[in-house]
Structure 1
Amino acid sequence: MNPADPSPALLKLQRLVRIPTVSDRDPALVDDAAFAALHTALAEEYPLLHTQLERTALAGHSLLYRWRGASSERPVVLMAHMDVVPVDADATWTHAAFDGVIADGFLWGRGTLDDKNCVAGICAAVEELLGEGFVPAQDVWLSFGADEEVFGTGAVAAVEHLTSLGVRPWMVLDEGGAVAHDSFPGVAAPIAVIGVAEKGATSFELRVDGRGGHASQPAAKGPTWRLARAVMRLEKKPFPARMPAPTLELFRRMAPHAPAALRPLMANSSKLAPLLARALVLAGAEPAAMVRTTAAVTQLSGSPAINVIASTAKAGVNVRIMPGDSVASATAHLRDAIDDEHVHLDLLESAEPTPVSAFEDEPAFALLERTVAEVFPDAVPSPYVLMGATDSRHFAAVCERVYRFAPFRMSKAQRESIHSYDERIGLEAFDEGVRWYGQLLRNLD
């Protein structure tokens, strides 16, 4: 087969991408028919999986499969999610988000990187192994959520179901890290970053109330002025930077591949942590987010009309809390930064950062490293702290080994396309990912 041609596994992903399974916090706004179509597509594209594995529907549209292995000891959970975020109608997509166009060596569309690539990659690997008559060394569970993007209940239901069966996973693997190219200035080698923890995803609302009135008679220091000042104060007082243990290990492992001038700093990251943390803050948004809790103002609202002074002005603030910080400490920091009693700070939803899964002298992490080395020999496997949030956080209560890694090569531009426009996956990169999942399942013994 020509490397530029799509593989059969890729064409199956293309079908999934063309189904607009957009999740919403309001169940009434969810297109149930789209999720039903996706379930049908999964059953048709992966028939062995659906005839030989035990399937359980959970929490609306989420799915859980059991692949019985040679032993029920040390069960493994492979996770992904079937839902996607909405598409901004004003975004300038090269190819329409749900057309699933194959062009220029990529499959384009919403979900190609987040996260139908993992759904299709896992299913393709399982389907292939079933066709060979392969039996995994231990039970394997496939947990596919349908509301991950809206912090839904699918994964919670999966945990509850497994608990009711007395299943305590030995290892859980969800999306998260990737084989990241262009991940750090001057580092040529791709870094296979495996999330051993994730930040806590917490949301606040800033609200300022006032009298409002006619725009021809503006009063000083009204709601919009106070809100704008509060936003600027948040920008001017970011959270302090520090280096958690996984990030220190990440830089130690990158050191041999860094420019000569940076190698001593990175190799001795534990001794030079404060200096390295300051350097990362200056290196850009992606590196800076690795070393501190972040706060992003994501929504603004004010007057309903351009000639009316707002009586209430609001701003949504999304905070990603670094392990070692907490919802309480983040709340205190925001209050201190805003320093205005007229600005109400309301907690909308909260999640603490997850525990850090072991990565030193840990067989489960070594298994992931070994599989990376076999499929991506040019990549440097390393632990890191995931900046986003995944469904796997719910499994931390029942499993000590929760990891986050999507085995696909991604450039910096591709990583920036997640939740944005022109999301796309390389044709060869997808096939590599399928091989990685298959090799992982073979390596369980």
Structure 2
Amino acid sequence: MQTKELIKSIILGILVLTSIILTVMIWNFSPDVKDTYSDTQKESTKAIGARYDKDAVQVMTPLQMVHVHRDKIEGAAATPYVNSLVNIFHQQHISKVEEFQNDNVLSLDALSNNLIVLDYPTDTPLAMYLNEVMNVPAKVPSNFKFNRIVLDIGKRNHVDVYAIDAQRQRAIKMSTDVPVAKVNKHLNHMSTNLEPYTDILTDQTTVNKATYLYAPKAPKDLRTYRTIFSNINVEDLNSILFDDTPIVRATKSGNTTYNNNTGMVNYDANNETYSYTNLSEDEHSTRDMNVSIPRTFDYINKHGGFTDDFRLFKANSEKGEMVYQMFVNGRPIFDSTIRNQIRVIWGERGIFEYSRGLLKTNVTVDNGEKPKALPEAEEVRSDLASNGGVDFSKVQQMVVGYRMITNDASSDGLEIQHNSQFVPTWYIKYNGGWYEFKNGELIKP
């Protein structure tokens, strides 16, 4: 018995001593974070903004929303609240898909007198949009592209959605399980922000409420804004696109060229623009926008490239080019350079070309001037229709945007920050390009 008790005492003593040693080790333990911190720091140098900061619904947005209820037409620029209308369809069900086509113009006689029209700045593949933005599974033609969505909220308990192509000759109708009451509730919440709009007939393809061109009737109370920018670091972009491989730098007349075996960059210090070409990528870009748009969105989002309110503004399937343009207060910003844009061409495996401005907004404030009014839409229409150099049938959209006025940068780089303004201006989409309307003329930004 004494032997057993002695063994028990020894074991107990060992356990107590072990417990004390382990407790001391825990108190004094300091994890080796060197590798973890190094990896995190390395990753952080490869981003120019917050990673994955944008949702697809924030980037692939309408240009404007118009509510057509009998003879009353009201609308708004694409503010976040307008864009959130799309969220109503998130993970909802489409019970039926129908296609309509007409060689002249769509009639869509079944439409009610209560519609919401969402106009988009570019042709967008419907299959990609349903999947990436609305998150609504549906079998639709993969080659169908739209630049207008019409929500019929006047006939039944659930919303019918029409996606209409740019030629106004083809439409896809989708019967949904989204309650009309849910859309009306959203519409009521934003009713105070709606302003009078008008419908405009441009040619034989815009002859009914589904196909009219819609524009603000008499834009007023528009403010000019001053903006202070900061600069995106060129080396940060280089580390992303060159993947930290050795590069050669050469500077001449304000332009700096970086290159290695896989890529080449031209940095224009005067205009604060950056253009990259991937020499290891096939020059034949991917033309399928169902593939290219999601891939470019993910790529830019991954390295925090949406440093401001950038939105998909152009998707050119012939060139394989996508343009993301800067917006403020739901309105597009126009500039003569690419300071307001991100331009991307996707190759077979990755980025082929990547160009952008190197300015990002720090502060945007009212410049203190009296709000201004722009010419009424009817005046703009009349001036363009009577201009012998303009084929009015090629007018595709009329919106209020902002002209970016920026003086040349001084040697210390501060002048560009002190003298940047966003001035409200009429912009016209004409024959596929965007122009400023000024004194009856169309002027390239």
Choose between structure 1 and 2: higher strand proportion. 2
Choose between structure 1 and 2: higher helix proportion. 1
Q: Tell me the TM-score normalized by structure 2.
A: 0.22
Pair member with larger Rg: 2
